[in-house]
Structures are given as structure tokens and as C-alpha cells.
Structure 1
Amino acid sequence: MAFYEVYSHPASIRYKTSVCTKATLFLGIVLCLTYIPPLLVAYRSQGFWVKRSTYEEQPVVRFQYQVLIIAATSTSGDYVAWSTFPNFNNMQGTNLRIPSISVREEDQNQDGKLDRLKFRLDLPLRSDEQVYSIQLLLTFSYQLFRMSTVVMQTLAFVQHSSSVPGSQLFISGDLRLQQRTPLPHRGLHTVYNVSVIDGTSPFASAYDLANIIGSYQDRNLTTFLSCPSPVWTVGRAAGTPFQINAEVRYPVEVVSYRPGFWEMIKFAWIQYVSVLLIFLWVFNRIQTFVFQNQVLPTVPIPLLKQHHF
């Protein structure tokens, strides 16, 4: 007569011993070797604690309508200048030239955040003046909201020179964020929400570009204009202004921040458990071999399963 299996279930066996035995000592060693080494492995693998993380966010950027321009009109140090700061203009005397400016900010994808600034400046010159170099400073309001809230004033600085006098400078670049240290994962960060240029100061040092840029670069958070290929056009007709055309885009930024407690614990827990599962499997097989084969003497007690009808 042929037989076939109609039902099966595992049989549980308990292995008992007293406290002060080799089996108890073995169990303590196994537990230590199961749970402690995975912690050390995860820690030594350079990935247990997340000390820095990143996220992407498009900042809220607005042009502040603050401009400072200095144009060298000869190779001997002559220049013309203008700014939106009256105190600076009062210091220029005959070097002051008042330009015409047009500005337009665009939201190209209609998401409620501005994506690009179009800036044009026409700098009037005398018939005997030529432009050999340009220094242009624009200021912006810059805000981040996704993790910590950042509100600050930033700038874009453009500098270009040529041995040949020009008629036009074209710039197309991105206003990029630069960080020295990560931001906190939450909170309000307004320490840099102050004007980059002190327009109320009557002193010339407040408008010196070296002082402005030097003080600005001491900050943890700054912006800079990434413009790999400015276009310098030569051949200005007499009586026509020198023209600056700039396109400044506000791209999505990768922001670095310090994770909070629960984010660090979540990442650490994943690292630990992924290694722990391997150790649990290995030492479970070792314990099964040791106790089933009575390598260490114990008292096996079958666990009878009760059925209720």
C-alpha cells in the first residue's frame, strides 16, 4: 500500500539547564557575538551615522534693484561709475555717468517662482571715451524653505576686461549657491539677511569692491554668478552707449544640511539590521547543531502542541 503525506508541522523542543553550566556560558557568548559585531561592522563601514545629507530645492530669488558699476575708460586708470546708492554717486564727481536700465524677471514654468532675470544697462560715454573693462555688482534676495528657513541678501559680481575697447558685454549664467558648512535641518536662519552694501555709509571704504567682496566671502552662505563664456563685442560707434546685457537664471540647488535625530536613527537602524540578519542566521544554525547533538549537555523537553476542539 502506498502512503502519502496528509499533514506536517514542526516539533518544538526546549533545552533546559541550570544557571552555572557550560551551556549557559555558551548561550551568553552567542548572544554577544550575535548582537555586538553587527554594530561594529556597521560603524566601521563609514555609513552608520549620517552626518551630512542633501536635498534639492529651487530658491525664491528676487532682484533687489541695487546696482554698482565701474567701467575703466582707459589703460591709465580713468573710469566712469554709477550706483543706486546716492552717497556713492556723490563721491564720483565728473566720473559719474547715469545709465538707463531695464529689468524683467520671468517665471518660465509658471510654478510661482521666478526663474530668470533679464538685465540691460546702457552706459552713456563721451565721444573720446572707450570701455576696456567692466565691474558690475547686482544684489538679490534669496530664500529657502524646504528644511530650515533661510532668508538672506546675496550678490552677483561680474568682472571682465579686454585690451581692445568694447561696445557690448553679454552675460548668460546661473546664480549658484555656495556653502561652507551644512545648514541645520530646521529653524530660521536670518543672520545674513542684511544688505551686502551699506548704502547709508558716507565713507568711500563702504563702496570699495575689494572690501565688499572680501566681507561677503567670509560668510558661510554666498551666491556667485556662474558665467563660463562672457561675450565681449568690439567696435562701438561714436556717441552710442556701452551696453551690458545679462541673463541670470535661478536654478534648482543641491542644499547640504545636518540631519536631525530621527533621520540619523532611521539610517543607523537600517545599517545595523541589514548586518544583524546575517549574524542571526549563522548563530541560529550553530545553536541548533550544538543543542541537537548534545555537544553541551542539556535536558531536551518536547513541547507538546495542544489541540482544542
Structure 2
Amino acid sequence: MVVYQVFSRPQLVRHYATVCSEATLFQLFTWCLIIIPPFFIAYSSNDFWQYESSYREQPNVRYTRQMMVYLSDNNPGGDRAWGTFPNFVQLLDPTTIIRPLVRSREIDHNRDGRVDVFNFTLEFTLDQNQVVSGIRLLTFFDVQLHTFSYVCMQSLAYVSTSWSTPCTSVWIGSELHLRQTEPIPRFGGFYTYNTSLINSDSPHAVDYDFRTILSNYYQRNVSTMLTNIHDVWSSGQGNTFTLQLEITVPEQIVIYRPGFWQLIKFAWIQYVAIFLLFYVILSHVKEFVFDNQIIRSIRHNPLKQRKL
């Protein structure tokens, strides 16, 4: 004969005790064990509070049409310079100024409104017997981030390279990356560094010195720098020198400070995971203690009372 379950219901057994009793103290003690230790265990794991998080975003970068460049020559006094800042050019010796033909191109491969590649071409006309053995260049950008907080800042890219033999042209490929020493805020606007990196109204040469500019720039918490720099040069000597600079703007990892609800979400998950483990274990302990009357209490079983 086949037997199957036709009905079921849980049996609820209650235990009663006075306020000032061992059972009440035991109940308080177990609840303290259920609530407090999980918090300290989760907190000591070092990931309870999420002080920083990250996401990926391609910055919106725009070329500001500002540039400074030095050409090096192995001959004494043979260095040449040029820049888009009028006061900087006025501080130069007229015999050292070399004015290039500058062409720039912005390429948006995926047509998302953000520049993926910057192409710069600088063509210099050289004096007779003049050679180029190295180059230092600063170019300036506007950088914006939009995904969480709105970040707007002025940034730069620095290129410095040299070679042992004279050359007529050089191609330099690189990537523009964010550099962060601190996370950015999660909400609102971040305009701390939306100021000019060079005081173009200054008549002092120190304000246009590369060491001064870069030293002040890299003290910032958020900046940009060129990485994965590669150069290909063509040896020889001629009347012109051509610099081709290609700067790729890839998707970046942006570090930010999480908001309150994001902190609570991750902290709550960790706490509850440990809380449930303590709750199950100590619930079985309480069941054993009260069912076996290890700690005295008044037991009330409604099913037995109905039978009586």
C-alpha cells in the first residue's frame, strides 16, 4: 500500500520566563553574539568599507592649439625654440627662434563625438649646416569626464627624445593616460584643475621653463601623461626636419570615491552573510538549551494542551 502526505503544519513551542531570570540573560547574550561579532569579523576583512572604486570611460579630449617645442643641436648654441605663447617667444633670442608649419588632425574612429587619435605634423626649415639631434615638446589639452562627476581640467602631454646621429624626420606614437594620486568625487563637479598651466601674461622666463611647468603639473592629484612611447626616425641631413606625433586616447580606468548608498550596499552584503551563519548556529544552540531545560523556562505546547 502506497502512503503519501496529505497534510502538514509546524508545531510552535513557546518558552516563557520572567524578565529577571537566567533565561532572559541567556537570550540577551545569544542575541549579542548574533549581532556584534559578525560586524567585527566583516570589518576586519579590510573590505567592509569601500573607500574607492573604479569604472572605465574614454575622456573627451580637445587640443587647445597651444604648444612649446625645443630642437636640440649637438653644436654649442645650436638649440632652437618656438611656442604659441607670445611672451615666451619675446623672451627668446631672435636667432634661436624657428617657426614651424604646424598641422593637426583629430580622428574619431567610432563616431561617438570623442577624439580617438590626435595627429600632429611640425615641419621645420633648418639653416645651412644645422642638424637636429633631439626634441622636447609640450602640447596642451582640455580633458573632460562625464560618467559620474563632471570633471573638467587643463592637461598637457610631454615628449622628450634624442638620437645619436642627425635625422631628417621622426615619428612618435604614444597614448594619453590619466594619472591619479587620489580618487575623484562620486557626484557633482570637479573643477580644481580647470586653470591654465602657464601664466601666458608673465614676462618672466622661469614661468616658461619646462622644469618649472612639469614640476608644478605633477604635483596635481589628477593629470595626464604619455605612455607606450615609441619613435621611428630617419637618419640624414637636409634643409628640413619633420616631426610627426600621434597621440591615441584609449578608454581609461577612473578611480572615484563611492557614495553613501554604494558603501552601505557592499557593507550590508558582507555583514548579512556572516550574520546568517551566526543566527543559524546559535538558534540551534538555543533550541537545545531550552528543549532540554538546561536553563529553566516555562514551556508552552498548544498541541498537548488541546489533547488534554
TM-score band, normalised by shorter chain: over 0.9
Partner of 2:270: 271
CA deviations 1:87-123 (Å, max 9, x no partner) are 2222321111111111110110011211110111111
- 8 Å CA contact 1:171–1:227 kept in 2: the answer is no
Partner of 1:283: 282
Partner of 1:194: 195
| Secondary structure of 2:200 counterpart | coil
Give the Cα–Cα distance (whole angstroms) in 2 for the partners of residues 2 and 133 of structure 1.
95
Change (3 A) 1:100 1:303: farther
- 8 Å CA contact 1:169–1:230 kept in 2: the answer is yes
- Count of residues in Structure 1 that have an aligned counterpart in Structure 2: 302
| Secondary structure of 1:131 counterpart | coil
Partner of 1:61: 61
- 8 Å CA contact 2:175–2:229 kept in 1: the answer is no
1:163 aligns with 2:164: yes
1:74 aligns with 2:74: yes
Partner of 2:8: 8
Partner of 2:106: 105
Pairing of 1:129-144 with structure 2 (within 5 A): 129-144=130-145
**Alignment RMSD:** 1.5
Change (3 A) 1:234 1:25: same
Pairing of 1:195-274 with structure 2 (within 5 A): 195-236=196-237, 238-239=238-239, 241-274=240-273
So what's the TM-score if we normalise by structure 1? Answer: 0.94
- 8 Å CA contact 1:75–1:132 kept in 2: the answer is no
Partner of 2:306: none
Partner of 1:86: 86
Partner of 2:174: 173
Q: CA deviation at 1:8?
A: 1.4
The letter for the 2-side match of 1:171 is I
- 8 Å CA contact 1:71–1:81 kept in 2: the answer is yes
Q: CA deviation at 1:157?
A: 0.5
Partner of 1:30: 30
Could you list the structure 1 runs, at least 4 aligned residues long, displaced by more than 4 angstroms after superposition.
Answer: 1-4
More moved, 251-260 vs 69-78? 69-78
Give the Cα–Cα distance (whole angstroms) in 2 for the partners of residues 5 and 129 of structure 1.
102
- Structure 2, unaligned stretches of length 5 or more? 304-308
So what's the TM-score if we normalise by structure 2? Answer: 0.94
Change (3 A) 1:286 1:166: same
CA deviations 1:165-192 (Å, max 9, x no partner) are 1211211111111011111111211121
- 8 Å CA contact 2:73–2:79 kept in 1: the answer is yes
